[in-house]
Amino acid sequence: MKLAAVLDKHSEFSVSGQLNDSLGDGFLLQHNTLYRQIRHRVLDLGFTFSTEMSADDLAFPMGQLENILARKVIPYFNNVEPLKRLNSRASLNLMWDHVVDNLKANYVFHESCHGVARSLGQKVKGDDLQTKIVKILIEESFANSCEFFAMAEAHDLFHRTFLEVNSYFTVFEDRTNLKKCLERMEPKFVFKMMLFCYLHSHFLNEDLNDQSFKRILLMSNLNQASEIKSLKSLAKNVFVLNPRFRYTTNEMYLRLSGIQQPVASVLNFDYLQKISQDKDLSRFIDELSQITSS
């Protein structure tokens, strides 16, 4: 695929709330339901977007989440104009493969998911350590689940291309199974299951045993025996993240949130039991899952 074709497709769209200088943003707002829903919600919450970045944003963006949520300004790169200039210099003869590996991606979608989750999470009243930890990791699990669910509509090459440069992780190999599950079951319940599964992985579990999976299915209102195989296949996608990355990133976020204990010890509790016994946490997850049905 030629770079010129990617740029032409990007330029076709003019959608409300679009970031014109973020590659594929207008396309995704037009064609991806969940991407559009999250954009509308985060704009309603008063968030704005800016290409003006601080040294902190540029040097270590993963450490800036709390600053983003506090200021309600989500930074992103203008990755359109540089590509246009580059393509012009090459007499319109560059291929997408020539640039994709070194192109600065934008994570507006992911950070917007955090903004939506943080707003809904304010209703959780508990301030004990376990509640605080579960809230933090639910936020991240929600963002992961949204990126995963957004793949369901990526049925063509342009959609997949634009989603890749606007997401942290994409695993298109299981998209067909995801679509089938969404057709056979209530989407909000499938989303809820994936959110629980990502949460399971963020609690530093390296696999999903049958007992834990049955508990997750029960809490997700999914107990159709005929679909367990397909759901189990979906659940395996949460372990695509490198274990070391999950461990170190989670420890960093917990420490930035004021939790200084070693991550392995502080996460050593039954998070599913905690959620099932806490009406606010249960309601938090229900409200996040409901977004897929909005």
pTM comes to: 0.96
The C-alpha atoms of residue 117 and residue 281 are separated, in whole angstroms, by: 12
| Res 163: pLDDT | 98
Mean pLDDT by 10 residues, the chain (294 residues): 96 95 98 97 98 93 93 98 93 91 97 98 94 96 97 96 95 91 94 97 93 95 84 92 82 90 93 97 97 78
Which token pair is 63? 């450490």
Helix (H) or strand (E) holding 200: helix 187-202
Question: Nearest-CA neighbor of 19 among 10, 32, 31, 8?
Answer: 10
